[in-house]
Amino acid sequence: MKEGVLEPSGSPRLNILVSNQKGGVGKSSISANLAAYFAIERKMDTLLIDLDRQGTSSSWIQQAKPFERLSFEHVSHLIQSSSRLGVFNARCHIRDALVRHEVVVTDVTWSPAISHELLEVFDLWVIPTSLSELELLSTIGLLRDLKPALDRRRAPKVLLAPNKIHPFQRKFDSISAQRFPVPFMLTPAVIASKQMEALYQKDFVVNSTDTEVRERFLVFGEAIWQASQIGMLAAHSMRARSDFKFGSASAPPPTKIVHHRIPTSIKITPDA
């Protein structure tokens, strides 16, 4: 949470980017359901800003059961221009939205046309990814390209989010084997399920009748919230890994918040 962005009560607000340069990683699904998590479970006034031309995440919220604290905007025209003016307009729009809402979740497919300056308005950058080596290498390439921007003091904290993970994928060796160019946090995995697919544009995972699917996403959402509570300096001097131990990722980590301590759902180790 950037300094100076406070609601009237003095509580800081949260600005989250959900983005990857590769399609098919479940970016829009995570965006819509993460926004719903903050609105429904944490009861925070939440806005989804959809900067993708397809408008998948905003369509999900538009078609699903309405909730008073959850709203959306499909404003892809703001970022279509490759000029600095387009990025400036998008930054201003996102900042203005944060004045009116407690949480803003922005969904955009990253491309070379988007200036790295857009990153500076966000507190967290959630990067959905599968466990395939090809996809991880693509993400590493993106982080390498943006490393100068991510090394800046006001850069967002990077959260790698394993998504669409099948229950039989119990090993995260593909992640541990890679060398990432910037410090990051590894969130609990979002498990693939037919129930989650069936909810598209109808309802949200936090309302799922499948207890396991719902509970696992709640653990994911809680980890995102806890990551926002870690100080900016600590986040960029350490590398975080989830409590999902490599080779035994079946049991979700505890979700209790411990203020001013290392969050229980994210284990932090010094960056190598």
Q: Is 9 inside a domain boundary?
A: no
| Cα–Cα dist 238/270, whole Å | 5
Predicted confidence (pLDDT) at residue 232 exceeds the cutoff of 70: no
Q: Is 208 inside a domain boundary?
A: yes
Q: Is 3 inside a domain boundary?
A: no
Segments forming the whole domain that contains residue 173:
14-270
Q: How many residues does the chain have?
A: 272
Into how many domains does the chain fold? 1
Check if the beta carbon of residue 244 is closer than 8 Å to that of residue 172. yes
Which of 47, 112, 117 is CA-nearest to residue 85?
A: 117
CA dihedral sign of residues 200, 60, 34, 28? positive
Predicted confidence (pLDDT) at residue 85 exceeds the cutoff of 50: yes
Per the confidence metrics, is the pTM higher than 0.85? Answer: no
User: Which of the residue ranges 13-22, 52-61, 228-237 would you say has the lowest mean pLDDT?
Assistant: 228-237
CATH code of 38's domain: 3.40.50.300
Q: Is 174 inside a domain boundary?
A: yes
Structure tokens at 160: 């790698």
Q: Is 193 inside a domain boundary?
A: yes
| Cα–Cα dist 57/65, whole Å | 14
Q: What local confidence, expressed as pLDDT, does residue 204 receive?
A: 96
Q: Is 2 inside a domain boundary?
A: no
Q: Is 252 inside a domain boundary?
A: yes
Predicted confidence (pLDDT) at residue 29 exceeds the cutoff of 50: yes
Q: Is 142 inside a domain boundary?
A: yes
